[in-house]
Amino acid sequence: MQTVLDDLDWRGLVVQTTGREALGSALADGPVSLYCGFDPTASSLHVGHLTQVLTMRRFQLAGHRPIALVGGATGLIGDPRMSGERVLNDATVVAGWVENLRDQISRFLDLEGEFGVTMVNNLDWIGGLGALEFLRDMGKHFRMGTMLAKDTVARRLASDEGISYTEFSYQVLQGIDYLELHRRHGVTLQYGGNDQWGNLLSGVDLIHKVEGRDVHAMTTPLVTKADGTKFGKSEGGSVWLDAELTSPYAFHQFWLNAADSDVMNYLRYFTFRGKDELAELETATLEASHQRRAQHALADDLTTLVHGEQATAQAKAAAGVLFGKGDVRELDEPTIRAIAGELPGAELTSSTPLVDAFVAAGIVASKGAARRAAEEGGLSVNGEKLAADDLAGELGSLTSLPGGHLLLRRGRKTAAMVRLVA
């Protein structure tokens, strides 16, 4: 019988463990209480966090008890990065981000029942920890040699910038989290990205020293693209789970643009499709990659998971409109805004003549060119073809799309979005 660890192995989601056999036995004897931590370094999670969130969902579906920790305390400190010190954010801002992340994470997990997720904030126990208590009761269990040897710390020490004691202490705080959750909730497994291995071991060692018990740690892969570049980054920055920061259309497009060399890994990591389905999609990619069946399955599954079925339908409709298919008037305002971000355009007043709008938006080079294109039946606004005489009319006489937008098009290949302003 396949266990959750077997499934995670098959999906490529297990990189390191404190002992594969011992962890497998514990999970088989379950249920196991486990946790993963998320630091609020922004107002939203991004797609890179999906590895951890969906792994938690897999554990939950297998009958284990998940605990999601959003680090209201560690988020004020910052996990050391290779590239230098983090900016310390205002406590009020971080508190708001904590609530945002708790809400996002909870949407992927069952909240009720025996295996319902427990949401915790490490500010509840670290916030009241005094300096002397921290040093006497916790600090004495950590050895400088071990802490200095951690990869990120060692690299930062060798850099010109170095590392502050604030960030250096982060691994102690994460160790305290594991100990506290072990005591409060019986947690015996912590997992995280592979760059967290040293921090995870801090907690394992601390529990062994303080409680005399052996617990487990596991890491998942750091997802990168086939070319080695960072996963979850688009030209505009991170791909966020918040629809206000990354529209469902842009989110769908991110996955749809996955390379053939990446898409099967992404399907294993981020979807709940089984071996037979993924084998069929892999064959389709090898035999007819131009159809991009695997990419469509990936984009549809994840957009629906994160934003819902309606958002997926809107994203697909928006793609059709951009390629000259479908009715732009059926799209909602967020999707219209997403399309506007993909197209050239201009902000114009309602008194602007339509012929000038086509020139200002870059559809044609001149008024004469606009008139000739209209005479040939090549110009349209919001999907409705224009006659040459229509070009003399003002933009305000037209029925605009949500948000005051108008989609101008010449044929199928050339399009722009203008927005009416006062």
CB atoms within 10 A of CB 165: 6
The reply, when asked if residue 269 is annotated as ligand binding, is no
Q: CA-to-CA distance for 341 and 333, rounded, in angstroms?
A: 12
Q: CA-to-CA distance for 185 and 122, rounded, in angstroms?
A: 13
Q: CA-to-CA distance for 78 and 314, rounded, in angstroms?
A: 37
The reply, when asked if residue 266 is annotated as ligand binding, is no
Please name the residue that has the structure tokens 């722009």.
416
248 CA to centre of own chain: 12
Q: CA-to-CA distance for 315 and 116, rounded, in angstroms?
A: 32
* Residues with Cβ within 8 Å of residue 190, at least 6 apart in sequence: 34, 35, 36, 37, 178, 200, 203, 204, 215, 216, 217, 218
The reply, when asked if residue 174 is annotated as ligand binding, is yes
Residue 17 φ then ψ, to 5°: -140, 160
Residue 421 φ then ψ, to 5°: -125, 160
Q: CA-to-CA distance for 190 and 176, rounded, in angstroms?
A: 12
Residue 303 φ then ψ, to 5°: -65, -40
- 79 touches 170 (CB < 8 A): yes
Does 40 sit behind a cis peptide bond, omega within 30 degrees of 0 on the bond before it?
A: no
The reply, when asked if residue 233 is annotated as ligand binding, is yes
Binding residue ranges for L-tyrosine:
35, 170, 174
Binding residue ranges:
35, 170, 174, 233
Binding residue ranges for ATP:
233
